[in-house]
Amino acid sequence: QVQLIESGGGLVQAGGSLRLSCAASGRTFSTYDMGWFRQAPGKEREFVAAIDYSTYYTDSVKGRFTISRDTAKNTVYLQMNSLKPEDTAVYYCAAGQRGYYTGSYYHGMDYWGKGTLVTVSS
């Protein structure tokens, strides 16, 4: 079992930066694939970034967001730079034992955090 708790969301102006953190518990955390997803009001949940032995990003955040992990701290991060109003959403951390990247999405997530809200003002 893996428990995930996100933090770091907030209100920022366009062009600003935030770093989201996902603290994980579980004795096998280092073996899990990790990802970030987001859901804007009235829209479907979408893939943002993931990390296993490589990193993957949706096209809209490439060059602006960076996913990383610190296994010693059981934590995964999402560094978000050059934020835009369209980045406004609830951001969710996720974990899976056998995740799969298909070129536009990362599948196979089994555990999800409750989310942290990111609001970008214009």
Tell me the per-residue pLDDT of 68-110, one tens digit each, with 9 for 90 and over: 999 888 899 999 999 999 999 999 999 998 889 998 899 999 9
pLDDT tens-digit readout, 2-49: 899 999 999 999 999 999 999 998 766 677 899 999 999 999 999 999
Q: What pLDDT is stored for residue 18 in this prediction?
A: 98
b/e for 9-33, b at 16 or more Cβ within 10 A? beebeeeeebebbbbbeeeebeebb
Q: Name the DSSP letter for residue 92.
A: E
Return d(Cα 120, Cα 99) in angstroms, integer: 30
CB 78 within 8 A of CB 49: yes
Q: What pLDDT is stored for residue 92 in this prediction?
A: 98
Structure tokens at 81: 């730079």
Q: What pLDDT is stored for residue 112 in this prediction?
A: 96
* Listed residue (78, 97, 96) closest to 38, CA to CA: 78
Q: How many CB atoms lie within 10 A of CB 104?
A: 10
Q: What pLDDT is stored for residue 73 in this prediction?
A: 87
